[in-house]
Amino acid sequence: MDITGRIIYPTAPAEGESHSGVAVVVPAPQAVERGETHEEFMARIAAKDVPAGVPYQIIPIGDLPADRYFRNAWEYSE
């Protein structure tokens, strides 16, 4: 299966910081279980890796900025 998405969720602000960041979960293709659809796989990984009660989104890879230089400045919006 070709993993075509990423899971993003907001992180809590670090001590002394005024804003939170964005965590990006990159699912490992070898973790796909037999017979599992892409949607089922992504939902299972999100349930496992996103902290309880934290909102998340599953987005296409292309929606992430290609330039990681300002990655700490990314903001999460629903």
Give residue-wise pLDDT tens across range 13-39.
777 776 678 899 999 988 999 999 999
For the question of whether the overall pTM of this predicted structure is more than 0.95, the answer is no
The Cβ-side half-sphere exposure at 22, using a 13 Å CA radius, reads 21
| Joined tokens for residue 9 | 């969720």
Which neighbouring-strand residues pair with 23? 9
- Are the CB atoms for 50 and 9 separated by under 8 Å? yes
CA–CA separation, 51 vs 71, rounded Å?
21
The residue among 3, 40, 52 whose CA lies nearest residue 25 is 3
